[in-house]
Amino acid sequence: MANVVVVGAQWGDEGKGKIVDWLSERADVVARFQGGHNAGHTLVIDGAVYKLSLLPSGIVRGGKLSVIGNGVVLDPWALLAEIDKLRGQGVDVSPENLMIAENTPLILPVHGELDRAREAQASVAKIGTTGRGIGPAYEDKVGRRSVRVADLADPETLALRIDRLLVHHDALRRGLGLDPIDRAALEAALAEVAPKILPYAAPVWKVLNEARRAGKRILFEGAQGALLDIDFGTYPFVTSSNTLAGMAATGTGLGPGAIDFVLGIVKAYTTRVGEGPFPTELHDGDGQRLGERGHEFGTVTGRKRRCGWFDAVLVRQTCATSGVSGIALTKLDVLDGFDVLKICTGYELDGKRLDYLPTAANHQARVTPIYEELPGWPGSTAGARSWADLPAEAIKYVRRVEELIDCPVALLSTSPERDDTILVRDPFAD
């Protein structure tokens, strides 16, 4: 059976939630492998809207095992709140259908406090973080001072972890003008949350390897997008984890040989939340129209997304770095009614043409897009479920996107409804 990795191939918000839900119907296990509760998916199923941040999208489907892998940083209080909200919508969440890797690092209240204090410094350029402590939690992971899920069951180890954590964080807090960490309050909070989280703890690497040997289909779900990758994104305006497909292996404990198909989710135009370079950003009526028609507001933050034309240079680059087998092109219907559409096919920098986004931040900020114009279409693509339902100009647009990014379309999404999807190539059939 094929195992599929789903990753965003732009700056996130590409519509991964719907696609993962669409695929999860035929998966046995859905595994989240990086990020934290700064990411969000919106699912629309039979008219019901589910907003997820930490839980894998498969949790809303009965008979599936959902897994939170060790590549995630987990805010236990945010997770419990999300579970309670879903239960209020009639979704069953229990240790029978949700597992958390025992070696998953926790996001603690101190991480959020540090995140927000740093972002509030007037003298430092803002990164545009959500202030939820994701970055500081990843810093503690690589600094070897994280409190991990398994530590909640071991008071002696937990005390040592907190010792190491406080030495580091109290020094930082003094420099930022914050009070020292209240150790007793932190210990009390962890003691209170431990019995609620520990029932979900499991050796996820072992569970997934056994599932693979048993022929189960595993769907790996990424958060954010490839352009926010800590190594290959628009640094420093990135997230604090690797968002590329390769992280599916290290973020769950299943080797890279288990990945059979990488599906890159790509919006038919481009959006971005927060700070950082955006070569095709529009500040005119077309940009406003894209935002309004696409309902471009962040699932988690509610922040308005910046909008621009499709950037084939960036998507070609992310398809390469993630080894994308095929893309799911979403929100094609948002382009309905435009007389002319533009696609960025290259950049110009200091009189030279580039076919990739340069690494240097100064160069990223100064590139200007080179556009190719295509005719729009007067008809509607909304709700289309076959090629025959699409205007000829829309098909030409999709085909041109495929040519420019050097990657075929596997799925085409024409509305938020899961069934409004054109299947070109079945990722699970590979």
Q: What pLDDT is stored for residue 123 in this prediction? A: 64
**Which residue's entry shows tokens 């996130």?**
12
The H-assigned helical ranges of 177-203 are 183-197
Q: Which two tokens stand for residue 20?
A: 């993962």
Classified as helix, coil or strand, 193 is helix
Q: Which one of the listed residues 13, 21, 75, 115 is annotated catalytic?
A: 13
Q: What pLDDT is stored for residue 285 in this prediction? A: 95
β-partners of residue 4 are: 219, 261
- DSSP per-residue codes, 72-84: B-B-HHHHHHHHH
Q: What is the DSSP letter of 108?
A: -
Q: What pLDDT is stored for residue 1 in this prediction? A: 61
Q: What pLDDT is stored for residue 395 in this prediction? A: 96
Q: What pLDDT is stored for residue 355 in this prediction? A: 97
pLDDT tens, N- to C-terminus, the chain (430 residues): 689 999 999 998 898 878 888 888 889 999 999 999 987 777 777 778 888 899 998 898 888 999 999 999 999 999 999 999 999 999 999 999 999 999 999 999 999 999 888 888 756 666 667 788 999 999 999 999 999 999 999 999 999 999 999 999 999 999 999 999 999 999 999 999 999 999 999 999 999 999 999 999 999 999 889 999 999 999 999 999 999 999 999 999 999 999 999 999 999 999 998 889 999 999 999 999 999 999 887 655 667 899 999 999 999 999 999 999 999 999 999 999 999 999 999 999 999 999 999 999 999 999 999 999 999 999 899 999 999 999 999 999 999 999 999 999 999 999 877 788 999 999 988 6
Long-range contacts of 246-249 (CB under 8 A, 24+ apart): 246/322, 246/323, 247/33, 247/34, 247/71, 247/222, 248/5, 248/31, 248/33, 248/220, 248/222
Can 13 be counted among the known catalytic residues? yes
Residue-wise over 94-110: b if at least 16 C-beta within 10 A, else e? eeebbbbbbbbbbbbeb
Q: Which one of the listed residues 37, 41, 111, 169 is annotated catalytic?
A: 41
Q: List, in sequence order, every beta strand (DSSP E) within 102-257.
A: 201-202, 218-221
Q: Name the pTM for this structure.
A: 0.92
Q: Cα(57)–Cα(39) distance, rounded to whole angstroms?
A: 12
CA-wise closest residue to 294 among 344, 330, 342, 339 = 330
